[in-house]
């Protein structure tokens, strides 16, 4: 996917709230949602997630790497117990989803 132009400095981060069920069926829509906001800083609220599957985990990890490569901020916050359980099972720290860049952090 080509690199997108960056919005003006000081542009507010896009805030997204993840759906409660992030299973294999949700991975393609999640990818599409994140891709629409490429080039913008993202703050993602994971507090409502009840079920968090491996495919959506891969989508979020890949997005975090893409945002870092684009030098944009990417932060997932408000991890629900379901997300924490999946991350622990996979051996991934919540800090893996924290790449802040001029987001006030």
Cα gap 101→105, rounded to integer Å = 7
Provide the pLDDT confidence category of residue 99 given band limits of 50, 70 and 90. Answer: confident
Query: What confidence score (pLDDT) does residue 7 get?
Result: 55
pLDDT at 1 over 50: no
pLDDT tens sequence across 15-40: 999 999 999 999 999 999 999 999 99
Query: What confidence score (pLDDT) does residue 74 get?
Result: 96
What does pTM read for this prediction?
0.84
Under 8 Å CB-to-CB from 12, ≥6 apart: which residues? none
Of 102 and 77, the one with more pLDDT: 77
Under 8 Å CB-to-CB from 78, ≥6 apart: which residues? 45, 46, 47
pLDDT tens sequence across 42-84: 999 999 999 999 999 999 999 999 999 999 999 999 999 999 9
pLDDT at 105 over 90: no
């Amino acid at each position: 996917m080509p690199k997108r132009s960056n919005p003006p400095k000081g542009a507010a981060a896009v805030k997204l709230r993840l759906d409660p069920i992030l299973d294999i069926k949700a991975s393609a829509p999640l990818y599409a949602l994140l891709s629409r906001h490429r080039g913008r800083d993202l703050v993602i609220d994971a507090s409502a997630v009840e079920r968090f599957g491996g495919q959506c985990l891969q989508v979020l990890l890949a997005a975090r790497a893409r945002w870092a490569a684009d030098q944009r901020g990417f932060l997932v916050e408000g991890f629900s117990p379901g997300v924490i359980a999946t991350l622990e099972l996979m051996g991934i720290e919540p800090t893996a989803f924290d790449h802040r860049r001029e987001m006030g952090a």
